[in-house]
Amino acid sequence: MSAVITPSTPPGPLHHRIAWHLTRDPRRELWLAWGTLMVFYSLFFPMFFIVAQVQPPPEPTWDLATQVHWFAERRLGIPVGFGVIFAISGMIAVNNALIAYSMRRMSVSRAFAYSYLLIYSLSAVPGMILLNVALIVGTLRPDRDPEAIGWLYDFAFLSFDGTMGVFLIGSLIWMVAILLDKNRVFPKWFGYLNLCNALTEVVVAPCWIFRRGVFAWDGEIAWWLDMVVFGIYQVTFIVMLFQLVRREDFGTGPLPALPRKKAVAQ
């Protein structure tokens, strides 16, 4: 009777190992999904922070003249940066699919994975698309009425920072699935880190009310503290998904503690 075990990467030059993963590794689809996730986030943050220069967010209390000037300064960066974001936005689906796969690998109901996919299929709208569209519209028509520019300015950053309910629910679904799971797909502490990420979506909601102070959309709590928590969470879940793919043996029970080194016949 033979035991099917995931083979290890053969030794040799890097390009040989990459070719082996692409052609013979049973986990190649999972590795492709994880690689797509890395490409997306490697481009996402530079486009927002460096090219478009829309994060950290500007002041919500600026007058119309300052807002118009802010758009004028980014008349090239915003279209270029967000053009790249639009081009790679489909990669989000692969990211969500890999996270849903992690829940399918758990001992919990499949409803967790399907609920997560359904909720996060909408997440790009408040988390990215509305901000991108509003700022591009404001940038490409500098001759607009300053009142319209001010409306686009408020709409863009309020939609980005104040409509994160889908991320709140999604993080809670992933948290509950991890805490109930008996297959040891992820450690329990990672479930509680999902709770921390979910709570950041709660404290950012008051930016609809406060224009100054720690709860404004550029405030110490609503943005700076949230960004620290989100950054830690982002790096952690990328590492956790990497470990998931390494440990995957395509069984139905608990994942092995370490990746299998070789195929063993009995």
Please name the residues in contact with 85: beta carbons below 8 A apart, sequence gap of 6 or more. 43, 44, 47, 48, 128, 132
Question: Phi and psi of 2, rounded to 5°?
Answer: -100, 140
Q: Who contacts 101 (Cβ-Cβ below 8 Å, separation ≥6)? A: 30, 33, 113
Cβ neighbours for 45, distance < 8 A, ≥ 6 positions apart = none
Exposure b/e, 159-195, CB count within 10 A at least 16 = b: bbbbbbebbbbbbbbbbbbbeebeebbbeeebbebbe
Any bridge partners for residue 265, and if so which?
2
Rounded distance, CA 243 to CA 187, Å?
A: 11
Per-residue pLDDT tens over the stretch 76-129: 999 999 999 999 988 989 999 999 999 999 999 999 999 999 888 887 787 788
pLDDT of residue 9: 61
According to the model, what pLDDT value does residue 28 have? 87
What pTM did the predictor assign? 0.85
Structural domain boundaries of the chain? 27-247
Per-residue pLDDT of the chain (266 residues; tens, 9 = 90+): 333 344 556 666 766 666 766 677 788 899 999 999 999 999 999 999 999 999 999 999 999 999 999 999 999 999 999 999 999 988 989 999 999 999 999 999 999 999 999 888 887 787 788 899 999 999 998 888 999 999 999 999 988 876 666 788 889 999 999 999 999 999 999 999 999 988 888 888 888 889 999 999 999 888 998 899 989 999 999 999 999 999 988 888 888 876 455 444 44
Residue 44 has a pLDDT of 92
What pLDDT is recorded for position 25? 75
Predicted pLDDT at 163: 66
Length of the chain: 266
Mean pLDDT of the chain: 86
